[in-house]
Structure 1
């Protein structure tokens, strides 16, 4: 089993590399637009969305919020903020499926997020 993650937003290549490094063989990664990514989740073709923008909550999540609903989306790291493992694990346990972060926090946020998702799915 592997977790299917779709990536949209800014710095997609940095995000993709971070997801692959953190998840290894347990993740399948698709880089696309935020619109296509959210549709893939809604249609059951992907499990989770990761997106980045300058603020971490605006453009990274606006399309997923519109397609998937506000309650399914969460910001894990805002601009100037640091991600926290316990907060991320709580969001994952609340069954959020779309996660936004500031571009400056990709390298810190993605490993925490992937770790929490692997743990939830019994792959950690």
Structure 2
């Protein structure tokens, strides 16, 4: 299989001042968009962008078109169970004469649940 490459889709990739973007011969040098090797190992956003900065530039420049592909007109919800656990004040002593006290506190645990019947 031949190696496949794509060019970074970042809108300002070709303007960033880094050594690996310099191309050309003396007198006609240019800053070029980075070439990215296509790989199944990172087949998400880094398949098309050389850095988080280039991804952010692209997203900021094209956010309206991106959202138009799959607009969200209703909120998403996840059924949960909320459990509050009260922990008492605890004194810890390591046996060397040093001790410390942990104040009483309340822990909130949120657990995703199957809420198919909705209690009916």
Bin the TM-score by the shorter chain.
under 0.3
Kindly indicate which of the two structures has a greater share of residues assigned to helix.
1
Higher strand share: 2
Q: Higher Cα Rg: structure 1 or 2? A: 2
